[in-house]
Amino acid sequence: MSISLIILAAGMGTRMNSDLPKVLHKIAGAPLVVHAMKSGQALDPVKTVVVAGHGAELVEKAVKAYDPDAEVVLQEEQLGTAHAVAQARAALDGVEGDAIVLYGDTPFIRPETIEAMIEARKENAVVVLGFEAADPGRYGRLITKGDALEAIVEFKDASDEERAITLCNSGVIAADATVLFNLIDAVGNENASGEYYLTDIVGIARSRGLRAAVVRCDEAETLGVNTRAQLAQAEALFQTIARNAAMEDGVTLYEPETVYFAHDTVIGRDTIIEPNVVFGPEVTIESSATIRAFSHLEGCHVSRGATVGPFARLRPGAELAEDVHIGNFVEIKNAIVDEGAKVNHLTYIGDAAIGAGTNIGAGTITCNYDGVFKHKTTIGKNVFIGSNTMLVAPVTVGNNAMTATGTIVTSDVPDGALSIGRVKQTNKDGLAVRMFEKLKQMKQNKQSGA
């Protein structure tokens, strides 16, 4: 059965107190709407339609960055959830199969839950995702009779008896796309809010002799983000889930509560992650690597057996081969570090390629930027770069070469050569004492006002 996704993302999010559309606020480095898209992407949808409103251009940019094939449609007036879903009609014209309605501010619906809804759809025209709420509050209530769903009643329109029900509506709905839009056509706005409720389609379906059912999930899956406090709560929930999943997959976390994952972090088994490590988006760590404390990684790939940190930073484009050592206060950006190479202390390597077995001394800098353009530094195999070497790109250091400590390399170094590029040292006897005496006298005169 083919599946289409309709993701509602038109809300302003007034309670976020932000110029940014609510669904673009991030957890784990990705906008909320992307998390909703990921929930549905596991079903390999034939079509994804995102209904935007406030900040639609920004929403479309984020949506397309994740899925270029997704379509964004505009809900110009906010007239309710049924009205929002109706805006996807043209985009799904001629598309057969089921449609799943998700929400751009509800990031934790599991793919397994959606699959359960699709399975329930085999015997029901409409399937609604519900949950038992610890505090039902103002959620819509699901009115059931046996296994059948009779109706959904919004809190504003519910009686006291209905408000006592704890089975609540998540808003997530599955139905055949054609049936869904036919039911929406019959939805009115005769209610306390004057809005077109998507929830009304259950009662309409029942009145037409169509079956409706509920699939239940854990309440945590339905967490919606409407405030900064809920955003923080969602981040904490994501991190707890990600840490537990990593440990179950064979990753060692010494202090799990201090490690922060991105939405797409991938870590192989038998890797060790020390405390206070932060993963930004697009990081892959292969098996048996070690990421030491207080390191920050984003947009990088770390191969098997490599060691990173402590206090290291890997930026986008950093590619570490097997058994590479990156040490304390080292920054790597857009650079390939080949097998067994070592960059252990106080060093910046940017826009570079470093050969296998090479050792980069403390305080080395690849001077890659001239104020306008970036330039590449190429260092061969089994090279020794002496401490405090400045490599002024574009420059190449050949295999088995060496640079002397304090060298400024401004031209290529041939294979096997030693490069020495520093000013000749000159000692002036007694000059230090005379200079100190002069400076001290100047300071005394300044303090006395002389």
Which residues are annotated as catalytic? 345
Of 173, 192, 183, 176, nearest to 130 (Cα)? Answer: 173
DSSP state, 300?
A: -
| 124 Cα distance to chain centroid | 36
Cα dihedral: 230, 235, 237, 238 (round 10): 140
Helix axes 111-120, 32-41, angle to 10 degrees: 50
Q: What amino acid occupies position 408?
A: I
Q: How far apart are CA 379 and CA 359, in angstroms?
A: 10
At 354, which amino acid appears? I
Beta bridge partners of 385: 360, 403
Produce one character per residue of 45-64: b if its CB has 16 or more CB atoms within 10 Å, e if not: bebbbbbbbbbbebbbebbe
**Residue 366 has which token pair?**
């690849």
Euclidean distance between CA atoms 17 and 19, whole angstroms: 7
Question: What does the alpha-carbon distance between residue 296 and residue 308 come to, in Å, rounded to a whole number?
Answer: 10
Contact 169, 150 (CB under 8 A): no
Token pair in block for residue 346: 């106080």
Q: Which residue has the tokens 């050969």?
A: 355
**CA dist., res. 215 & res. 117, Å (int):** 6
Q: Mapping DSSP to helix (H, G, I), strand (E, B) and coil, where does residue 406 land?
A: coil
